[in-house]
Each structure stands twice: as structure tokens, then as C-alpha cells.
Structure 1
Amino acid sequence: MWGTAASATQAEGAAPASDWWEWERAGRAPLSGDGNGFTASFAADFALYAGLGLRHHRMSVDWARLEPEEGRHDRAAVARYREIITAAAEAGITPWLCLHHFTLPRWFARLGGFADEDNWRRYWLRHVDFVAESFGDLARGWQPVNEPNYYPRITYGGGPFPPARKDADAFNRVSEGIHLATAEAALALRATGKPVASIYGLSVPVALDDSPKTAVRVGNHLADHWSSWIGLVRDGVLRIRDRPAIDVPHLANVFDLIGFSYYRTTGIREGEIVPYPSGAPLSDMGYAVSADGLRRVLSKLRDDLEGTPLLVAEYGVGTSDDDLRARYLRDGLTVVNTAISEGVDVRGFFHWTGVDNYEWMRGHEVSFGLIGKDRAVRPSAAILKAEAIG
């Protein structure tokens, strides 16, 4: 499966009823505007993807557009998303749908979001059922929640997403909630008969010294980004740091594929994250551009989830240097092909992203696309096209 991935807020702009819209208006983030103009150009974008042989596309259907007020669904928004998903299929693109990519309806956020179990069990699972009913006939696959292992850090771990607080108790409750909510969504969506993949944000930490601070940071990274969800999807046991384990055997093996995003290797020195490997070129996001970390991720997944089908759900680099993007793509594909030759069951490769989009706190400054906002196809796209078509 060769494809691209995008999110609603980044491609369409913030929904007026979302927490991110409010965040922008409070001056906490750059204005997203119309994202990359996808709402007006989706049919042409799908034709570009198909021409590149990238015939799978993951998009998110924005909860805040579908249910701007609690209990009130916007039928025009449903119709618009159905039009977009239908256009994808007509262009020869297999549509995968994501239900949550970082932003929330304000009404749900104000009720506590995923930090409150009663809250998400009532409203989130109702939303999952609504999406399955509204789009299940058109979707060809599901990737329910984007990076649930990363979401707690950017919201309650001092990160820049609303409410942007550093609160250890809320961090743990959101961690439990978002992981369980993701797995429950996967279980419900499998009932549609369509494949369900995860999207965990993965990197393998590399300790660059033996300081106590580094040891703690490495341990927390492995606990938050690996141990929690692996125990959940493999064994039906969720463990969030030092909180009591939660036994949920019905949630073991809920994913047909374990999908993940990869952007960097996490080097840790004196307890701080630093670019690794040293000497590698840096992306516009400040990440060391090296595909060796992808090798590390695939190796750990092979060891921890032996025989499990895998999906590279996001791989890309934010840079204005398209030659660097091309090298990074070649290196990443070499890593994946080597892993396959060694018996790792990799089923697909999705590039982040197709068309340059809104990059959250960096606004419209960073280019992740194979295609510019002017819809000019970059030379690096030829690398994926050759693999996909050849």
C-alpha cells in the first residue's frame, strides 16, 4: 500500500467549533486559514496522488465539524465529507479515515476531554458509532486516532496544544483515556468489516550519557511511547507509568495492522532531547534527518510484536531542501526493503504529506509535501512514484 496522509485541521483549516480555532484566536498559535486549500481542490489533489501511484490516502473527518454542539450533527458537513471520500474512490484512491487528529470540539474539551472516563465513554464512543454509520459504506480502512501515545505530552505534559498545562495527574488520566478510547474505537470500527490500523508516534531513545537524568528520561520515553500501548494491544493490559494496571482483555489484538509515524531518533543527553545522530543535517523542525531511527523502530516492533503486520503510517521531513527530502526517502525505503527481506511484515508506506499544509505552531512555514501549495509536484515525488508504479 503506497499512500499519503493528512489531517483535517492541517488541510482544511481549524473548524470554528474546535478548541484549536479558539487557540488561534487567543494568539496561542498561527492562524490556519483554509489549511492548504484541500476543501476546494480535493478532486485535483486526488488525481495528482493517483498519477504518482500513491493510491491510498488517510484523511481525518473533523469531529468539531460533524458535531459542533453536543448532540447536534451538521448534516452539511457529513454530506461534504461524503463528497470528498467519494471523489477519492473515483480517482482510484483507497480512503482511510481518522476520527481524531489532535483537535477536539470545544464542548467536549470543556467537559474534560479524554481525561474523564465517563466523558469519553459517553461522547467519544457515540461519535465513533456516528462516523461508522455515516461513512462506513465509503471508507476502505480506519486509522482511528493519531498518535495517542504522543497526545498526552502535547496537552498535559507542557506541550503547546490546548490546554498546554504541565499536570502529572491529568497527564496520566489522559494517557489512560486516549489509549483506551483508541482501542475501543478500533474494536467498534472492525465491525464494519474494513481493516483498522493504529498510528502510534514512535522513536527509539538513545542514551548519550550515563547520567541519572538521562536514565529517567529514557525510562519515561519507553514507558509512555512503547510499553503502555504494546501491553494494551498485545496482552490486553494497559500500564501508565506508576498507576495500577488496567486489565482489558477484550482490547487485545484489536488492530489489523500496527501503524506508526516516524520522524526522528530521540537522542537524550543530561535528560534533554538532542538531535541524533550528531552531524546529520537538520530539518526545519530541528530534527536530525536520518533514516537509521526507522530501522531501530522496525527492529523493536519485530522483537515486541513478532509476526504482526506493520504499516509505516507517516514518514516525511519538513524541509525546503527537496534534495534532502529525496535522500531521506531513498534511505527510508532502503531501510523498509531491508526489513522486509529480513522477515518483517511491512504492508504499506504512507508519506506525510501529499500537499504542503499548516504545521501547527510553525504555521505555513514548513514544507512536508511532495507537492507545494501551488500544486507543483516536487522532484522527490518521483522516488515514491518509481517504487509505487514499478
Structure 2
Amino acid sequence: MTRAFQFNPGFQLGVATAAAQIEGGKVDSNWFHFSEIPGAILDGSHVKRANQHWELYEEDIALLNELGIKHYRMSLDWARIEPEEGVFDEAALERYRTEIQKMCDLGIHVFLTFHHFSHPQWFEKKGAFLHYENVDAFLRYVEKSLHYVADLVSDYCTVNEPNVYAVNTYFFGEWMRYKKSLRNTLQMMNVFIALHIRTYELIHQFRKERGYTNTRVSFAHHVRHFTPATSWPHDQWGARLLSFLFQEGLFRASAKGEFSYPFKNLANAEKGQYIDFISLNYYSRGATRCFQDITLSDVPKNDLGWEIYPEGLIEEARRCYALLPLPIVVSENGCCDNEDLFRPRYIYDHLRLMTKSELPFEAYYHWCFLDNFEWAVGELARFGLVHCDYETQKRTLKKSAHFYAQMIRDHGVTESSYAAYVEPCRYHRDEVNIVRDYEVD
């Protein structure tokens, strides 16, 4: 069996980042304040360090160019742009425009996200996305930003993983240290649905009024493949329920304006189409046992103990495509592999299945470009193609980065690149979990 394959014509490889995870600096954001709480970040690191990309962005753009990457997903940090309510930092907006312009000059296509888990602390104090009336503040920020970037960017993501942000904040109570509340989890998801629909309409209207064409807008929908751990009816039903609440119900409402309990139509949106392409973030499969998400034993895992299950990406993409047949962009896919021992195989296994699939996959953005601040885990988990020494801020290309660059040059995987980069890789099958081990130490 040949191990080589070619990407379909027009298929693109890119990388993804998020502003708060790489920029560093003292920014009056929800994540800056959360990082100040003792014990909030597992390894004691702080979002203010990160990768210092705000100062080193030209070096990072040069690395993108060196690797041959022509598609880059990034986000704006609302907290930089509007540090006080109603007060915009024009210099920060100009700085973002300069960064995007430099990439455009190199032929790098920018896919821009407006909210990737980070927002101003003044907005957090107003209740953030628990209150529908706060959506107007977000729209004001988006419209202001469009004045600086709309002529440079045609592809937009309104919000990244609204289900993940809501669940980690209120269902698990891990982010921002709020009291656990299923009611607030669902309320936040409902507000995010309304926010996405209204932002979708705003971006299209703004660019249309100025004569720009080819506008494409979506939201980054996190999908996890839920499977029952056993044949027991409770586990079977639990997997279906989690999949609906976490994924399908949210997708139907956000993408099509089709609402069913417990999702509410806060924006009074009509049924229609509110995405121009399907944008999926996929990492892992979860087994459901008694309504709890667990990891099966004796399966491949990454360094965080997440199961590696490439087939789940295809299965979840197929479900979304059945609901709304549009081009599919994998806006995030990657793994925590601190020693870069199996990342090339992880990338290969997912891309091979995507290429073999009948689904219209258009692009793949690897998460992430360089090791960065991984939210509440801090600097402990490394997902990047590029290694970052946080003390010196030195960037070093990993073996997986060289493999990625080779795939871009070859528009696929050759037998020789497979032998050099993929064949030596082996997944973990034991109980690896760097978070658990760190807590024990």
C-alpha cells in the first residue's frame, strides 16, 4: 500500500494562532486578570509573557515565509483595541493593519478571528457574554476594526469555539473561576449564537457597502467525537445528548437559524444561512460513561492524555456537511507533543483521511504555528510547529515544521518524506498526562 498522497487541487495548508496566546504584554483583559490569581494557571506562568509576538511579529512573519506558509489564521485582541469602554486605541489598530499588510505583501492569506477567548476586563465586569445587551459593544468593536482591515481581509471568523468558552467558564468553572452553572453555560451559548449571526450580517454589509467582493464569514465550531463507552442505554443516550448540546444544536442555530430547546433565538433571526463555509476545530474523541466524558484505555494519546482519533474529524465534518453542504475549512487541528515525537504522524493521519474523503475540504490550519500560552495550562503544553524558549524568546523549527514545509512544497506527502518524517513516529498508548503528572509533582 502506497503511503504517499497528493492534496486535491486548490487545497491549502496553513497555521493558526490566537492574539492573547502569543502577543504578551500588559493588556487589561480577562486573561491578564485571571493570570494574576494565584494558582489559576497550572504552571504559574502568565499571559503577559507568551511569545512577545507584539514586538517580534516581523520575525514570526519571516518564519512563516521561510516555511512557505501562505495561509495564516490570527485574531485581534479586543482588549488592546478598546482598553476602555468606547475608547479605541488607534495605534493598536494601525499596528494590526501593519502586521496584516506585511503578510499580504508576501502573498500570505489572512483568516481573521474577532474573538478568541480574550476580551477587555471592563467587558468582563459587565457580565461579558451572559447578557444579550452586551452584544452591541462587541459589534461596535468589530465595526471599528473593519475600518482598518476590511480592504486586506476577505475571510473572517466571528468567534472561536463558543461552546468551549462557555463550558470551561461556567460548566466546569475552570476559566475565570465562576460558580458552576448549567443555566449560565446555556445562556452564554445562546448569546454567542446571536452574536455570531449579527456579526455575520455586519461584516457582509460593511464590505458590500464599500464594494468589496468574495466576503466569507463563519465561526470556528469545536467538534469532539462523542462515542458511548459501553453498549448500555445510558451511555448511548448520553453520547447523543452531549453531541447535541455541545455541537449539533449550536451549529444548527448559528449556521441556519434553526432553534430547538434549549437554544433560544435572542436575535430574532429568520431561518437562513449564516455561514459561508464550515469552519471546524477538531482534536480528539471522548467516550461517554454515565454522562461523563472519559478517555478509553489502550488507545493512542497525546501528552495531555487526549485520545488521537483522526476518523472523528471526518465523521463530524460529514455530520455538519449533511446539515449545510458548504466548503469545509479545518480551522484548528493539532496535538500536544512536547518532544515532537509523533506530531508528523498526527498531521499525516488527519490529512490522509481528509484527502481520501468525498467531503469538500478546502484548507487545513495546523494548531499551532509556535508553542504558546495554552490558557489555564500555561506554558506547560506545547502544540507548535516552532519551539519557543520562553526565557529567551528564541524560535527553533521542529522536525514537524520541516515536514509541514515539505508537504507545502510537494502539495502532498511523497514516499521519501513519509520515510523521513512519519515512519519513525509512534503514538503513546500508556497513561500519559502531563497535567496530572505536574499536579502530582
Cα contact 1:318–1:366 (8 A) shared by 2: yes
- Structure 1 residue 82: deviation in Å? 1.4
**Displacement, 1:280?**
2.6
1:262 touches 1:294 (CA, 8 Å); kept in 2?
yes
Partner of residue 198, structure 1: 219
Partner of 1:308: 326
SS at 2:178 equivalent: coil
Q: Greater RCO between the two (CA within 8 Å, min separation 6)?
A: 2
For each residue in 1:192-219, what CA deviation from the matched residue of structure 2 results, as whole angstroms up to 9, or x when unmatched? 2432232111012100124565355424
Cα distance in 1 for partners of 2:311, 2:108 equals 30
Are 1:293 and 2:312 matched, yes or no? yes
Distance in 2 between the 1:163 and 1:361 partners? Answer: 11
Q: Answer whether contact 2:103 2:109 (CA < 8 A) is retained.
A: yes
Separation in 2, partners of 1:184, 1:386: 40
Give runs of aligned pairs for residues 226-237 of structure 1, distance below 5 A.
226-237=247-258
Distance 1:61 1:338, change over 3 A: same
- TM-score when normalising by structure 1: 0.92
**Greater displacement, 76-85 / 227-236:** 227-236
Query: How do residues 1-390 of structure 1 correspond to structure 2 at under 5 angstroms?
Result: 1-13=12-24, 16-27=27-38, 28-29=40-41, 30-120=45-135, 122-191=136-205, 192=207, 193=213, 194-211=215-232, 214-215=235-236, 217-239=238-260, 241-242=261-262, 248-250=268-270, 252-276=272-296, 278-305=297-324, 307-339=325-357, 342=358, 344-373=359-388, 374-390=394-410
Change (3 A) 1:245 1:87: closer
**How many angstroms does 1:238 deviate by?**
2.9
Identical-pair percentage: 26
- Contact 2:82 2:88 (8 Å CA) reproduced: yes
Contact 2:67 2:401 in 1 (8 A): yes
Distance 1:108 1:363 in 2: 23
Q: Assess if the C-alpha contact under 8 Å between 1:100 and 1:145 holds in 2.
A: yes
Specify the code of the residue in structure 2 equivalent to 1:65. Answer: R
| Secondary structure in structure 2 of the residue aligned to 1:299 | helix
Contact 2:32 2:48 in 1 (8 A): no
Q: SS at the partner of 2:387?
A: coil
The separation in 2 between residues aligned to 1:159 and 1:190, in whole angstroms, is 35
Q: TM-score, normalised by structure 2?
A: 0.81
Contact 2:26 2:48 in 1 (8 A): no
Residue 314 of structure 2 aligns to which amino acid in structure 1?
R
Q: Structure 2 CA distance, aligned partners of 1:222 and 1:14? A: 38
Q: Tell me if structure 2 keeps the 8 A contact 1:2–1:53.
A: no
Note the C-alpha offset of 1:233.
4.3
Structure 2 Cα separation of the partners of residues 311 and 229 of structure 1: 18
Q: Matched residues in 2 for 1:37 and 1:16: separation?
A: 12
CA RMSD, aligned part only? 2.1
Equivalent residue letter for 1:218: A
Q: C-alpha distance in 2, partners of 1:196/1:389?
A: 28
Look at both structures and tell me which one has the larger radius of gyration over its CA atoms. 2
Offset, 1:190: 2.3
SS class of match (1:123): helix
Q: Moved runs in structure 1, 4+ residues, more than 4 A?
A: 210-213, 243-251
Decide whether aligned partners of structure 1 residues 15 and 103 sit closer, same or farther in structure 2, where only a CA change above 3 A counts. Answer: farther
